[in-house]
Chains A and B, each alone.
Chain A
């Protein structure tokens, strides 16, 4: 049990610490693909350090909710990073929240961000909150249906059990998982405010979604938000690994498999980051109301995947 707790704490700290690195890696890959000279892969850490050093500027119209939000967001993401079996499946805290609760954690983070965005009473804050909630209500059901497909295959909503079941099955192609995988990728892009739904590097306020919500934040608050956003990306990636590429994650009690798990995680994150950069280079940001079509397609794909599971295994 104690070793489990240690592993749990280590894993969450690891995810939190490498999250900015993954962000940096995505930016580097994108710069390469776009024929720009790449920034340092450590740039996100410098940015965080710079932001932590600055004085926080808070609008006089802001309420305590505005100050609390970054911490709540950070706490939610930390919890998410702790639940997902990133390295090993025997995490003592993981039973506290299954995949449905995980979606609940992300919803909590989203609602907190949207409320804080409306707190200062500025035009862009409300605009961002409205769009974020729109993306959220479209993405959340698609995400749940994707997870349900995996839950039906493995007969459990515990991520650890899902990983154990999926990793130890004989190699077979699950058509339902293929549908779910595409749907999950679309949700990942939308939920993490990536192209084609949102542009994380945009400077045009009118097209912003996520950035518009955090326009009023500065210094340590902004740093925590940026950090949480990076953790969220890694959490989503690792959920994807757990569902669709569960190989390499150390099974319960097998300490010898940890170095291999670490290496597998590094390789998978590097590939996923490069893939994300590739997608973002390929695609253009879409108009805001096409997002509804994009995400309802994801939802339909996820539901199709679930139905196919019932058809094939009936």
Chain B
């Protein structure tokens, strides 16, 4: 099984290199290599799904440095994330086969190489069983995605976005490296087995946790390390954004779960509290800023920040419950959080791909220039609607399932033997409720402004997505529906994953309930059946239509009424800013607003508002200034005179001799 996974990951590398063959036909490469990559993804998903149910396998690969071979391991946790990576990338790769049709051969070859190297690196991050391979794969992943982000490197804005991404990625990687250093406690062995064995004092365990949380948090986009997401995602080509947002930031969740539950082991509830606080802040901040955006891809990027916050809310609750010795409730939280990670991977990739199709068809990302796309891109509109409903956490689709599970976790709060924490946990559920309701508003805005209504600008010849694009979108939409309607299969898999990590398990009632019921603890406490739910609504809808039309189905087509107002223009429709105006009013202090109000005698008034992130002024710019000042100070050492440098060497040697003696 592990060997098969290794072969699949290497196959991705081979596909990427195959694109470079100079004699090859670039169009052929696009039509063959990307679907081949999708097939590899499917295979990997199958391997991952099976690995979740089999004991862990390990392998020492004859690769790496002479004395430092690569260790690989396929356990249920790795299996689950391989399933996520494979299943989502299958959809995205299929989509790529249609999406990159306008690229020049050279660029296409480079994209193909970087794209598949990116996929392979993510597979190796998940399979790694020593800190060395993990860091190599982690950095390869960052580099490959950096090159993908800067595909359009001719534009300075995109180079800047790429640089910011690389910077945050490296600061994060540094913290992860330090975390492995702390856990390793000087044993000289960096395999995960050795790290598991190491006995950390509570202080050093907490240091390791903080480093891991910071390091992986930088990749996941936690507050205040989120700044790269809204810059890098719009810069990258849409399928790459889909992969980065859908899968790559989940590898950070994988890293957190691996380090906290597996390598450190003994979870403390104080860590959980920190995760909850940061998660809640991230979720609320992310969705509030998503609501204020008008660039579709920036909006989706901020929404990813929010969803990572929701994943962390589940994870934090789980850590709190494990910390207080309530493994069953802790398992529920872990399952909810990983379920949401999977859901987010599916619907966010779907939405980014949909945004890509819009960009392809209209050349626009600005919501205020779109409108009425439903009539001209019906297929994309249909799939995007599924994504919209899923991310808004509406039953019976998948977003609701993970949110429901997170709420159920919060409702286990009475088990906690600590008065303050017991009342705090439901408060985080309240944050989740608020951000979920705001998400619904945000995506009603997206769908309403982009797909409904009438076009706000003239767009000649808007075409629907190509066949390959539609296949990719359909695959991910099917994922949203299946994960929403049949949650118990993934629930059981995740229970197995958690069992292999912590030894705990959900209750018997949860494991024995039939396939269309979702029962987290006991049937009398809570249950949910999306299938029955859907069937009842569907039956009522169909019967009602039948009965109503039996009476009469007469329809007259007319102009929109709009209270009889005669001169309607498309500019009178709500814009993206207009729709979010109540939010800016209510949550005003959160934003830094720069408004342009037209004067009273302006005959073509245009209102505009620019929303800025205060973190730039509070965190990033001061840090940049500090880095500048420090660099200037370091420059003092550089006098350009050889005698000075020799003096430095001399003093260094003296100092070393003092230590070594």
Contacts and interface: CB of A to CB of B under 8 A. Distances in A.
Interface of A: 52-53, 55-63, 65, 71-72, 74-76, 78-79, 82, 93, 95-98, 100-101, 104-105, 107-108, 110-111, 114-115, 118-127, 129-131, 133-134, 136-138, 140-141, 144-145, 148, 151-152, 155-158, 161, 205, 215-216, 220, 224, 288-289, 292, 299, 303, 306-307, 310-311, 314
B28 interface: no
B402 interface: no
Nearest to A8: B536
B438 A123 contact: no
| Shortest 9 CB-CB contacts between residues of A and residues of B | A126-B574, A121-B453, A118-B448, A137-B437, A59-B560, A141-B433, A96-B532, A121-B454, A122-B562
Given A58-B558, A122-B562, A124-B562, A71 B444 contact: no
Contacts of A158: 524-527
Contacts of A97: 395, 528-529, 533
Nearest to A134: B582
A60 B408 CA distance: 45
A72 B545 CA distance: 10
A104 B400 contact: yes
B453 A119 contact: yes
B293 to A, nearest CB: 16
Contacts of A98: 526-528
Nearest to B406: A100
A123 B565 contact: yes
B388 to A, nearest CB: 8
Contacts of A82: 536
Interface string B427-454: 1011001101110110011011100111
Contact of A63 (B375, B552, B558): B375
Contacts of A138: 437
A161 B447 contact: no
B545 A71 contact: yes
Contacts of B533: 79, 96-97, 101
A216 B395 contact: no
A100 B574 contact: no
Given A104-B400, A157-B408, A74 B560 contact: no
Nearest to A62: B560
B560 A289 contact: no
B482 interface: no
Contacts of A56: 554-556
7 contacts: A59-B559, A107-B393, A120-B453, A121-B560, A137-B440, A140-B437, A145-B430
Nearest to A116: B452
A76 B423 CA distance: 33
B105 interface: no
Given A104-B395, A114-B444, A121 B570 contact: yes
Interface centre among A76, A122, A289 (most CB of B within 10 A): A122
A157 B411 contact: yes
Nearest to B551: A52
A216 B560 contact: yes
B104 interface: no
Nearest to B407: A100
A134 B561 CA distance: 24
A98 B400 CA distance: 13
A124 B423 CA distance: 43
Contacts of B572: 122-123
A148 B419 CA distance: 18
A93 B568 CA distance: 47
Contact of A136 (B437, B526, B559): B437
Contacts, number: 258
Chain B facing A: main interface SS = helix
Nearest to A219: B554
B628 interface: no
Contacts of B647: none
A55 B411 CA distance: 49
B523 A118 contact: no
A76 B448 contact: no
A61 B374 CA distance: 11
B586 A292 contact: yes
Contacts of B374: 63, 65, 119
A95 B529 contact: yes
Contact of A306 (B423, B449, B517): B423
A123 B568 contact: yes
Interface residues of B, number: 83
B394 interface: yes
B563 A124 contact: yes
A97 to B, nearest CB: 6
B258 interface: no
B392 A58 contact: no
Contact of B423 (A75, A121, A136, A307): A307
A123 B562 contact: yes
Contacts of B430: 141, 144-145, 299, 303
Interface in B580-613: 581-583, 585-586
Contacts of B526: 98, 156-158
Interface string B375-412: 10000000001000100111100001000100110110
Contacts of B449: 118
A161 B524 contact: yes
A156 B441 contact: no
B372 interface: yes
Given A121-B454, A314-B419, A141 B437 contact: yes
B525 A111 contact: no
A65 B438 CA distance: 22
B554 A55 contact: yes
A201 to B, nearest CB: 16
A52 B573 contact: no
A278 B558 CA distance: 41
Contacts of B389: 108, 111
Contacts of B325: none
A148 B528 CA distance: 16
A100 to B, nearest CB: 5
Contacts of B438: 137
A121 B394 contact: no
A60 B551 CA distance: 23
A55 B541 contact: no
Nearest to A203: B563
A102 B448 CA distance: 24
A215 B561 CA distance: 8
A22 B541 CA distance: 23
Given A124-B563, A303-B427, A306-B426, A104 B393 contact: yes
A84 B510 CA distance: 24
Given A74-B544, A216-B561, 15 more contacts: A56-B556, A58-B558, A60-B558, A60-B559, A93-B532, A96-B532, A111-B389, A120-B560, A122-B560, A129-B574, A130-B578, A133-B445, A140-B436, A156-B526, A158-B527
Interface centre among A107, A130, A216 (most CB of B within 10 A): A130
B363 interface: no
B569 to A, nearest CB: 9
A126 B433 contact: no
Contacts of B528: 96-98, 100-101
Given A118-B574, A126-B574, A157-B408, A107 B440 contact: yes
Contacts of A111: 389, 392, 394, 440, 444
A97 B401 CA distance: 12
B444 A133 contact: yes
Interface string B514-552: 000100000111111100110011101100110010011
Nearest to B425: A310
Contact of A215 (B375, B385, B400, B563): B563
Contacts of A114: 444, 448
A288 B578 CA distance: 15
Nearest to A223: B548
A75 B540 contact: yes
B537 A76 contact: yes
B396 to A, nearest CB: 9
A65 B568 CA distance: 22
A93 B525 contact: no
